[in-house]
A and B are shown apart, each in its own frame.
Chain A
Amino acid sequence: MAGPRAIQGPAMTDPLKLERRRRAIHGWLLLSPALAMLTVFALYPSVATFWTSLWSRGTRRNPSEFIGLENYRALLEDPTFWKVVWNNLLYAGVTIPASIAIALIMALWANSRIPARSFIRTAYFTPTVLPMIAAGNLWLFFYTPSFGILNKIGALFGAPSVNWLGQPDTALWAICIVTIWKEAGFFMVFYLAALQTIPPDLKEAAEIEGASRWTYLRRIVLPLLMPTTLFIFVNAMINSVKLIDHLFILTKGGPSDSSKLILYYIWENAFAYFDRPAAAAMTIFVLIVLGLLAAFQFLVLERRTHYQ
């Protein structure tokens, strides 16, 4: 925007300057709705959160006081925080590649000429349309010990009853599976859309050149899907930090923090322990990590991606 500079002119007698000024006002008017929205809903909360994180937790006897980075130091010394960070890394490391791979396979399949194609596409998409809470309850039933469907099936083969959500060894994995189940169908829709933009004569040209289906997939389809993959990757990354509703229904972060993820821990700090400054410090920490990740993705991966 050349706006501010244009306004600084001296006397507005010059018609050219008047016109410039008119344009500048016009520009700022067009900008202002987005500016107002972003300030109120994104910029202000971020700054306020950062400000909060610099103060101590106030009680009736000890009013909150400015303590600088003390909250951050406390955070780094909190073993639960590190446990939660580790859980979250594991969760992201498992669910993102798995759901992207499954989404791609499903999309390739649903894009080929198969009977009942639209039925299959709809079926894959259903988990995404389902409200999170409903999906959570559904899986709660699957995982229930003794009479849950997983254990029922296991019992047919003589497997002992397992409390999937109730033991530290399996709880996080159970959460991962629910996420993969839910995300894969969603990502498949993006892959399906991208696959349909690939002109069919590329396949024919590759066929005439003697490329096998595998070669065509590896050399042509996958590179052309890279922009979609990058988009999905960024989304999956954000989703892995955003997950909270499944935890509410399925485990509440337990047992013994084994399935606790970062957003749930922030929520717990803010609204269960009423330690707002700690929650704010954690939020800032997450914001910084996500920002770095986004920068990496868009600066490094973007360059290796071909956009049509």
Chain B
Amino acid sequence: MTSEATSRQADQIPADLLAEIEERITHYPVSKRSASLPLLHLWQNHFGFIDDSGIEWIATKLELTPVNIYELVTFYPWFRREAAGKTIIRVCRTLACAMAGSYGLREKFCEAAGVDVHHESHGFGHAPPTSPDGKFSVEFVECLASCGTAPVCLINDELYESVTPEEVPSIVKELAAG
């Protein structure tokens, strides 16, 4: 890195991400603005979160003003303005899972992953509570639509069903190794 190098995400877009962005915009022949959410997903998947330069870059790309993108980032719980852990453990909080013990499950995951159990986070761009080593984030999310196999959690892209507190340490150990 030279001294002129920046940490702005918009200065570090690789060619394959750019190609994916261009292709994704073609899915919306009537209005480019419809590509806002897909672009935010692509951006966050690549960079881990969305910084100011990302908001400005996407807005410019879609011929919008930054506030059009900013108001989405601050509305949807999925998007973050800061880095989360490498592995994100999303424990379902809603009724069927709560009845099946998801509150205790979240505590178990926090304990096993080294995440502060008292730290709760609810959107607005904040990253979910993360372990000091940056390996894990653990958070409650609302209904994951798998109430028949409660309690469930979504760990990165994988759904874990009928999770018992006893198996939490081994799940976390496996994730840490993987």
A binds B: no
User: What is B's interface to A at a CB cutoff of 8 Å?
Assistant: none
